[in-house]
């Protein structure tokens, strides 16, 4: 039996003015997904928490086999670190970092340092990793893509209960600083170490040849580092691992690859899988076909739906959905067990993630059927057999359809 879980990022939406009051999925022509909808069950499922807008990593984690509770706790730092293959231990504190531009008075001028690229940040991080450990705490920075980086804090008595120093916008008029989030000495010690490290970072970056050249060229210097998403790596219990279904994940986006790496899943990613509308959809379908020959479960991720909605472009989102649907026709005929779902809804009217449940399909040989004939938010709402389920329950239904839950002896209480 072959099985595929297709995750279309930010698939759900709200009525859009540019689409005459339809959502992109309602407006899109999706004969392939409509046909799947007719074969099995549809519905609006809850990624994590009803009504609450969640992030991609939290919303995807239940579909990757984590319990709802573990998915809620998951921080971005460890995922980013796993995404670039950074060596991490359960005691490390990991944060997402940005190279940024700060003024002489330490006020944030640009969160992305004029969108500096990784060729330059690689040299900058080499210089920063010369900073010796202070107070027994070693801080290491590794570049990812563009202005982004991962910061690893290592040492005794440290904690991830610390605030972000990245305000997510530039209106803030105070210097970016990290604060402890509780009264324990570990959080204070970690915050102090990172703030002191940031001061040394500023001194080194202020005189770095790359920044001198950038200023000469009229570009913003990368003269500071701001951070967010602190967390520790944890070996979370995972239902896919528990039942011996090690999936293969096909994706282009770093967060999804990071999640897969964190859980020890095999991945396929190519440079042409860009995570944008120009991604190689056909290449992903071919990779999935090949993977289905050997993997018990293939997870296929599409990102650009979410990007289009963030860009307030419901028409581009609709067209991307149509392209994915067209490409899927080549794939789904040969697959027995199929789920299509999403990590959260993203509104093309506001550009933000929303807490609305997401449209989902489940079909396997002999599965129940409901009366839904078209795959869309409004038709799922009317008579969808999956309505009210969360992503964990949807995944369990897929695993049940695959027949792998029958012999699982350890119960389900840890999952919900």
> Which residues of the shown chain bind Zn ion in the complex (CB under 5 A)?
9-10, 56, 306, 343
Q: Would you say 273 or 364 has its CB closer to Zn ion? A: 273
Give the separation between CA 27 and CA 230, rounded to whole angstroms.
Answer: 40
Element (H, E) at 185: helix 185-206
Instruction: Give the end-to-end CA distance of the chain in Å, rounded to a whole number.
Output: 27
Nearer to Zn ion, 310 or 323 (CB): 310
Name the helix (H) or strand (E) containing 187: helix 185-206
| Nearer to Zn ion among residue 225 and residue 251 (C-beta) | 251
| Least distance from Zn ion to the Cβ atom of residue 272, Å | 21
DSSP string, 95-124: EEEEEEEE-TTS-EEETTGGG--HHHHHHH
Closer CB to Zn ion, residue 9 or residue 325?
9
Q: Rounded distance, CA 277 to CA 322, Å?
A: 12
- To Zn ion, the closest distance from the beta carbon of 346 in angstroms equals 7
**8 Å CB contact between 52 and 369:** no
Q: Residue number with the shortest CB distance to Zn ion? A: 56
Calpha distance 289→60 (Å, rounded):
22
C-alpha neighbours within 13 Å on the C-beta side of residue 247? 29
Q: How far is the CB of 136 from Zn ion (least distance, A)?
A: 38
CB of 52 vs Zn ion, minimal distance in Å = 14
Give the whole-angstrom CA distance, residue 376 versus residue 388. 16
Nearer to Zn ion, 26 or 306 (CB): 306
We find the least distance from the C-beta atom of residue 90 to Zn ion, in angstroms, to be 27
CA angle 241, 243, 245 (to 5 degrees): 65
CB 263 within 8 A of CB 241: yes
Q: Taking the complex as a whole, how short is the minimal distance between the CB of residue 255 and Zn ion, in angstroms?
A: 8
Nearest-approach distance from CB 73 to Zn ion, in angstroms: 18
- How many H helices and E strands in the chain? 15, 14
Return the number of the residue (56 or 376) whose C-beta is nearest Zn ion: 56
Q: Which tokens in the block code for residue 144?
A: 């990812």
Q: Give least dist CB 264 to Zn ion, A.
A: 22
Our CB check for Zn ion shows the closer of 72 and 202 to be 72
CB 230 within 8 A of CB 93: yes
The pair of structure tokens assigned to 38 is: 């007719």
Question: Which lies closer to Zn ion via its Cβ, residue 306 or residue 325?
Answer: 306
State the residue for tokens 């933000």.
Answer: 352
State which residue, 9 or 232, has the beta carbon closest to Zn ion.
Answer: 9
> Distance between CA atoms of 395 and 235, rounded to whole angstroms?
20
Shortest Cβ 155–Zn ion spacing (Å)? 33
């Amino acid at each position: 039996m072959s099985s595929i879980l297709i995750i279309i990022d930010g698939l759900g939406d709200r009525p859009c003015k540019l689409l005459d009051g339809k959502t992109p999925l309602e407006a899109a022509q999706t004969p392939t997904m409509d046909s799947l909808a007719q074969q099995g069950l549809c519905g609006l499922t809850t990624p994590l928490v009803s009504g609450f807008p969640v992030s991609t990593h939290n919303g995807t984690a239940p579909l990757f086999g984590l319990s709802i509770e573990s998915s809620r706790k998951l921080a971005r730092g460890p995922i980013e670190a796993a995404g670039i293959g950074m060596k991490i231990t359960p005691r490390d504190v990991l944060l997402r970092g940005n190279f940024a531009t700060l003024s002489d008075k330490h006020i944030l001028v640009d969160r992305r340092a004029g969108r500096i690229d990784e060729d330059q940040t690689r040299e900058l991080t080499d210089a920063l990793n010369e900073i010796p450990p202070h107070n027994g705490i070693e801080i290491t920075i590794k570049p990812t893509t563009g202005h982004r980086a991962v910061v690893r804090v290592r040492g005794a008595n440290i904690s991830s209960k610390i605030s972000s120093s990245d305000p997510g916008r530039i209106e803030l008029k105070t210097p970016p600083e990290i604060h402890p989030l509780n009264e324990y000495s570990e959080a204070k010690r970690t915050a102090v170490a990172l703030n002191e490290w940031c001061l040394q970072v500023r001194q080194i970056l202020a005189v770095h040849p790359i920044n001198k050249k950038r200023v000469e060229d009229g570009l913003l210097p990368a003269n500071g580092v701001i951070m967010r998403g602190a967390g520790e790596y944890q070996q979370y219990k995972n239902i896919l691992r528990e039942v011996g279904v090690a999936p293969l994940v096909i994706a282009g986006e770093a967060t999804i690859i990071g999640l897969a790496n964190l859980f020890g899943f095999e991945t396929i990613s190519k440079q042409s899988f860009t995570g944008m509308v120009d991604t190689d959809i056909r290449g992903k379908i071919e990779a999935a076909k090949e993977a289905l020959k050997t993997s018990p479960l293939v997870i296929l991720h599409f990102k650009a739906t979410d990007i289009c909605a963030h860009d307030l472009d419901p028409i581009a989102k609709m067209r991307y959905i149509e392209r994915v649907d067209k490409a899927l026709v080549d794939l789904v005929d040969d697959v027995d067990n199929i789920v299509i779902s999403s990590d959260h809804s993203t509104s093309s009217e506001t550009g933000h993630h929303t807490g609305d449940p997401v449209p989902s399909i489940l079909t396997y040989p002999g599965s129940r059927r409901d009366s839904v004939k078209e795959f869309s938010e409004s038709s799922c709402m009317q008579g969808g057999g999956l309505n009210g389920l969360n992503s964990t329950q949807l995944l369990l239904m897929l695993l049940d359809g695959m027949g792998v839950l029958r012999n699982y002896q350890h119960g389900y209480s840890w999952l919900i």
